Each structure stands twice: as structure tokens, then as C-alpha cells.
Chains A and B, each alone.
Chain A
Amino acid sequence: MKKILQGNIALCEGAIEGGLDAYYAYPITPQNEISAYFAEVLPKLDKIFLQVESEVAAINMVFGSALTGKRAMTTSSSPGISLMQEGISYLCACELPCVIVNVMRGGPGLGNISGSQQDYFQSTRGGGHGDYYTIVLAPFSVKEIYEFAKKSFLLAEKYRNPVLIIYDGYLGQMMEVFDTETQEGKLEIKLEKDIDKSWILDGAKNRPPRKIRSLLMAEGELEKFNLKLKEKYDIIKENEVRVEFYYVDDAEVCLVGYGMSARVCLEVVNNLREKAIKIGLIRPITLFPFPYKEIFEISKKVKKFLVVEMNLGQMLEDVRIATNGNAEIFFYGRAGGSLVSADEIINKIKEIIN
């Protein structure tokens, strides 16, 4: 079915299609459409909607519903996501699958309510205390927001790990036409075996009692668990990298961008290719796992990279790691809720080429 939807509403519809059971959240701009939509729709579907006292409570309610094996979600924007970091660390430590959405705004502090990509580090480096990662998805269209929201619960359950979907406030507010039936297939989840639910707490009926906890006090016990988590993250890195390439094979300069920045980059690439200027684009779709290997391969041929972000250079560091000295890395970014512009990217490319 063809629909015209705002990014934030597409997220809601995708999550419901994906089997959402419970949603908990605290108001914050620029994502208030989400709770307004769920408040109206979820009760009619006999699902849980709760506006709660804080983001801290919201993430812990997600924890509570997730430990019963139900599909729970919360959404917020940057300052609210900061408040959730304790809970996210516990969710990862207790290996509870759930979906968390950050509709990013300008920071630090209260910042502003414009779209930004300033939470890249927080998203891709765990964000809270301890050695852990969330799986991070960065949609760049309303259609992708819908599809990723729909598939993310399965991805979370496959690895018993929270999935974080991040996009900026602009994408959340933008409307696009898309078809809910046709699958772009960018986030197909392959299951080698059925989802394991032998850990959930739902009352010890006809089975021994279970416990969920992250406190591991015996000598060596925590390190053993850390290594088990690392093994899981290594499998995720092996299996779940998603990245798109546009004209990279013969590119003289390769742009690297995700989310909203990638949209602007794609416009630039299409525009310059018409003028026979050899520009390519790498668009990481998963930010954890990051496409290090794929970018490394490209850096054997392409010798100039221009990283474009709506921050002052965060994914930039990952591109440096990925290219490992093979290429010259340039950066163009706008911060504080400012949007990157095609003209400014083109000017930067001209500087690089000349």
C-alpha cells in the first residue's frame, strides 16, 4: 500500500508491524509525534502505551517488559537518551532485546531542537558504563525508518541485544511517499535457528526458577562474561554489516555519510556524475557494526575520502581507522542543528580535487 508519512509516524507504523507489545516514553522535541500516535493507536490494538515520569523510568520499564520476552520500545531525543544510558548498560549486561530510538537534536546540554548527528560517539561506543555495544541502525529515508523499525525487534532478539535506531530531527519531521508492501531488503534478518526464549521470566510454572542479573562477583566470572559478550559482538560484526555504495569503483573522491548527510551527499553525487565528475558515496547503514572492511577495500583504489556529518567529526575517526592510512581523509561537517548543504559539499570537493 502506498502511503505518505512523516518519518516519526513511519517509525510507529513499522514498529507495530514488527510486533511491538509495549511503548514507554517521556516527552521531548523533536519526536513528540511518536507518543501522540502511539497514545491513540496502541490501546485500540490492546498494546501498552505509557507516558512516564522520566526517561530513566521509561528505559527501566522497557527493561521490565523485555525480561518477559515481550517486544518493548522507547523513543527520545539526545538529552533523554543520555538519561537512559544507565538502563542501556543494564539491558546489554542482562542481554535483553529491545528497541531504542534516538531522534537526534543539537547538543551538548539542552542544545536546540534542530536535527543533528552529534550523538554518533555515544551511539556507537556503547554510551554507558562497561564494555558493551548496541546494534546501531541509521536509516536515511522515511521508507527505511519504517522497514528498520519493523525488522529491529527480530534483530534484537536474534542477538539478545538492544537495537538503537538513530536519525536526526529533520528526517523525523520529513514526509515521503513509499510503498509498505515492497521490501527494499536492506535489513533482511537471517535466522540460523529459532529465537531462543528459554531465558525469559514469566513465572516458574513447570520449570525451575530463572534469574536475570548482571552482578558477577566471583573471581574471573565477570571477565568470562565480558569475553562471551565480545564473542557475540564479533558475530554481529561478521554478519550484520549493512552499507550501500554509489559509484565508488571509478571514484576520484569518495564521500562517506549516513542518515540525512548521506541524502545530501547522494544529491551531490548524482549532480556531479551528470557533469562527468567522478564522485562516489559510501553510506554506512549500520553504524555498529561499522563497515571497516568494506571501506578498507575501497581505500585500496580510492585515494581521497570526504566524510560528511552533521557534527564536527565523529564518524570521521572510524573512516580513519577503516582506511588505515591508505587514503587522504577530508571532512566537512555542520554542528548545532545546522544542515549540511549540497553547495558547500561541492565547494569542498572542488578544493580537494584542485
Chain B
Amino acid sequence: MKATKFIKPKAIKELYHNYCPGCGHGIVHRLVAEVVDELNIRDKTIGIAPVGCAVFAYDYWNFDVSEAPHGRPPAVATGVKRVLPDRIVFTYQGDGDLAAIGTAEIIHAANRSENITVIFVNNTVYGMTSGQMAPTTILGQKTLTTPYGREIYKDGYPLKVCELLSVIEGTKYLARGAVTNPKNVALTKSYIKKAFVNQIENKGFSLVEILSMCPSGLHKSPVESIEWIENELVKYFPLGVIKDV
């Protein structure tokens, strides 16, 4: 049997990251880096980091990265891509960034079919600010600011971003993956790759939503976080390709 050697992607720096034990960001960062390596686009990629835990992505990826104000990565990415259309531009955003404060920016970037790639990490809580309710927190889920569980009449429903964006004609590729087990990780990577290839082929707006673990914010162990996503969260946020045109 041929041994597979585990090699660090060139698109990741030789650094330890600051994420909590069991956090999914490290896996998603690596998947993006592997795709960037495989497509040989490291020297023309510009990433836009969000506000939230993943703001530090600019320290970990080994290509050009800028921060953006909270929720505004799609607008910043638009400003980059419009003047440098031959570069590969992507945003990396959490659920608070993309689905709460940045809803206007993501919907209009999608509607213009900006030729960018969006990596949307959905862990159902605000991780950096200590675990408040996110727009994607599911009904009944307890967080710092929903101590009795999320209630429909007070807090509304969890926002299904892919399904919401799917009715916008400008969206060309929408998929939802998870990074909870090797099979899901491999599938998620294939979605991310497709979302970058689409941009290279000038197809327009592509977004991959990724269900990811935030043990600190969820107040669960890393293993419990994975089990909760696989047993509960996927019921509300089903995995798979949602749109591919």
C-alpha cells in the first residue's frame, strides 16, 4: 500500500494558530490552502478576512490578505476584483459577519454576481465575543444571549443563507459542507475547489457554507460539538450542493 505523506500546503505559513482546541477554522483554513496550492493560484490570490475569530487568517495564509470592517468583506472583495479582474479574490466570513451585520453586502454582491468566492463558516454562535446568539443559532439552542434557548417569537428563525441566496439569479454555485468527519471534510474541499474554479472560469458568484465546530462558544467538548452538528444541526442545514448553474 502506498503511504500518503502529510505535507503542509505552501499556502499556509509555518505558524501555530490561536484557535481553541476543537475549533473548525484550522481545518477550513487548510482546505482553502490546499485548493489554492492545487489550482496553482497562490501568487495571484487575495483573501479578505472578516471580523471575528478568523480575522487572524491574515497571519496564517501564505498569500496576500486584508482585513475588512465587520460584515463588509463582499464589498471590499468587489473593490479588489473590479480593478484586478485577473486575480483570485475570496472572502472568509463567519455567521455573524455574513448573515447578520453583512446581509446587505452579501446579498448585493451575489445579485451583481461578483466573480468572487465566498467561504462562509457557520458555527451558529459569535465565537470571538464569547458565544452570543448568531443569525444561524437553531431554535431552542442555548447561547450566552439565549439562556432559555432561541425562541421564535423573540429571536426569529435561524437564517438559511444558501437557501436564501439560491433564489438570486446572480448566484452560480451554492453548497453546504461540514468539517465533522473525513468524508465531510473531503466533500467540503471539493465544494471549495469548485467555488474557486468557477471564479477562474469567470462564472460568477460562488459560495460554500461550512458547518463548523466552536466548542468554546457552544459550551461542548470537541467531540460533543461534532456529534451535535451531525445529529442536530444538519437537520436544519442539510448538506450538499444547493445550486450549480
List chain A positions with a Cβ less than 8 A from chain B: 21-22, 24, 48, 50, 52-54, 56-58, 60-68, 70, 72, 86-87, 90, 94, 201-206, 209-215
Q: Give the tally of cross-chain contacts (CB within 8 A).
A: 131
Given known A204-B42, A204-B43, A211-B66, contact A68–B84 (CB-CB < 8 A): yes
Given known A54-B104, A203-B44, A203-B64, contact A70–B78 (CB-CB < 8 A): no
Query: Across the interface, which residues of B come within 8 angstroms of A52, CB to CB?
Result: 75, 78, 108
Q: A58-B75, A60-B68 are in contact. List 15 more A-B contacts (CB 8 A).
A: A53-B105, A57-B108, A60-B105, A61-B76, A61-B78, A65-B79, A86-B69, A94-B67, A203-B43, A203-B87, A204-B63, A211-B58, A212-B66, A213-B66, A214-B67
How far is the CB of B13 from the nearest CB of chain A, in Å? 8
Instruction: Please measure, in the bound complex, the distance between the C-alpha atom of A212 and the C-alpha atom of B76, giving whole angstroms.
Output: 12
Determine the residue in chain B with the shortest Cβ distance to A63: B76
Given known A65-B82, A67-B80, A215-B55, contact A60–B75 (CB-CB < 8 A): yes
Within 8 A of A (CB), among B31-52: 42-46, 48-49
B230 within 8 A of A: no
Instruction: Please measure, in the bound complex, the distance between the C-alpha atom of A21 and the C-alpha atom of B81, giving whole angstroms.
Output: 13
* 7 A-B pairs with least C-beta separation: A64-B79, A60-B75, A61-B79, A203-B44, A64-B76, A53-B108, A205-B43
A203: contacting residue among B63, B76, B79, B105, CB under 8 A: B63
Given known A53-B105, A68-B84, contact A63–B68 (CB-CB < 8 A): yes
Instruction: Please measure, in the bound complex, the distance between the C-alpha atom of A90 and the C-alpha atom of B104, giving whole angstroms.
Output: 19
Query: Across the interface, which residues of B come within 8 angstroms of A68, CB to CB?
Result: 46, 80, 83-84
Instruction: Please measure, in the bound complex, the distance between the C-alpha atom of A58 and the C-alpha atom of B59, giving whole angstroms.
Output: 27
Contact B63 A57 (CB under 8 A): no
Contact B67 A212 (CB under 8 A): yes
Instruction: Please measure, in the bound complex, the distance between the C-alpha atom of A204 and the C-alpha atom of B65, giving whole angstroms.
Output: 10
Q: Binary interface profile of B, 96-140, with partner A (CB < 8 Å = 1, else 0)?
A: 000000001101100000000000000000000000000000000
Contact A60 B66 (CB under 8 A): no
Contact A205 B44 (CB under 8 A): yes
22 contacts between A and B (CB under 8 A): A22-B82, A60-B69, A61-B75, A62-B79, A63-B72, A63-B76, A64-B66, A65-B82, A70-B83, A72-B79, A90-B67, A90-B69, A94-B66, A202-B64, A203-B87, A205-B44, A209-B61, A209-B64, A211-B58, A211-B59, A211-B64, A213-B58
How far is the CB of A215 from the nearest CB of chain B, in Å? 6
Contact B45 A203 (CB under 8 A): yes
List chain B positions with a Cβ less than 8 A from chain A: 42-46, 48-49, 55, 58-59, 61-69, 72, 75-84, 87, 104-105, 107-108
Determine the residue in chain A with the shortest Cβ distance to B56: A215
Instruction: Please measure, in the bound complex, the distance between the C-alpha atom of A325 and the C-alpha atom of B40, giving whole angstroms.
Output: 67
How far is the CB of A117 from the nearest CB of chain B, in Å? 28
Determine the residue in chain A with the shortest Cβ distance to B107: A53
Determine the residue in chain B with the shortest Cβ distance to A211: B58
B69: contacting residue among A53, A54, A65, A87, CB under 8 A: A87
Instruction: Please measure, in the bound complex, the distance between the C-alpha atom of A24 and the C-alpha atom of B109, giving whole angstroms.
Output: 14
Contact A48 B42 (CB under 8 A): no
Query: Across the interface, which residues of A come within 8 angstroms of B62, CB to CB?
Result: 204, 209
Instruction: Please measure, in the bound complex, the distance between the C-alpha atom of A66 and the C-alpha atom of B68, giving whole angstroms.
Output: 12
Query: Across the interface, which residues of B come within 8 angstroms of A62, CB to CB?
Result: 79
Which of A60, A66, A215: most chain B CB closer than 10 A? A60
Instruction: Please measure, in the bound complex, the distance between the C-alpha atom of A206 and the C-alpha atom of B84, giving whole angstroms.
Output: 18
Instruction: Please measure, in the bound complex, the distance between the C-alpha atom of A48 and the C-alpha atom of B62, giving whole angstroms.
Output: 29
Query: Across the interface, which residues of A come within 8 angstroms of B76, CB to CB?
Result: 60-61, 63-64, 67
Which of B58, B75, B78, B107: most chain A CB closer than 10 A? B75
Which of A22, A203, A214: most chain B CB closer than 10 A? A203
Given known A50-B78, A60-B76, contact A215–B64 (CB-CB < 8 A): no
A211: contacting residue among B65, B81, B108, CB under 8 A: B65
How far is the CB of A73 from the nearest CB of chain B, in Å? 12
Which of A90, A201, A205: most chain B CB closer than 10 A? A201
